[in-house]
Amino acid sequence: MSKRPKFNPFAFKGKGDYDDATAKATGIKVPKGQHGFSLDPKSGKVLKSRGHESFEKTRMTEEHLDSDLKFKKGRYYAVPRKTKMADTLKPKQRGR
C-alpha cells in the first residue's frame, strides 16, 4: 500500500496563507501587522499559497521582472526566463 502524499497548502488553491516558517528560516523579518515578502530571495520559493489574496499580484510582478512562477518540488518558484521580453521586441517597440 502506497502512502498518500502529504497535503501541501502552498501547491493548491485554497484559503490564503503565508509560509511564516520558511520566511523565518531564511532570515526574513516581517514586523507584526505588516505585509511579508512574496519570495525567498535566495531560492525564489514563493511564500504565499495560491489562494493568498495577493498571489496573482506576485505572479504579475514576476512576469514584469521577466520571471515565471513554475511548480516544482511541491512548491512554486520564481524562475528567470531564458529570453527576456525586451529581447524579443524590435528596436522601434523598445522605444529606440
DSSP H or E run through 59: helix 55-64
- What the block records as the C-alpha cell of 4 is 498518500
Residue 9 has pLDDT above 50, yes or no: yes
Residue 51, judged by CB atoms within 10 A of its CB (0-12, 13-18, 19+), counts as middle
Per-residue pLDDT reduced to its tens digit, 14-70: 455 888 788 888 888 877 777 778 999 889 999 988 888 888 999 999 998 989 999
What are the boundaries of each domain within the chain? 20-26+37-82
Q: What is the pTM of this model?
A: 0.69
Residue 47 to residue 58: CA distance in whole angstroms: 10
The SS3 of residue 7 is coil
pLDDT score of 19: 84
pLDDT score of 58: 93
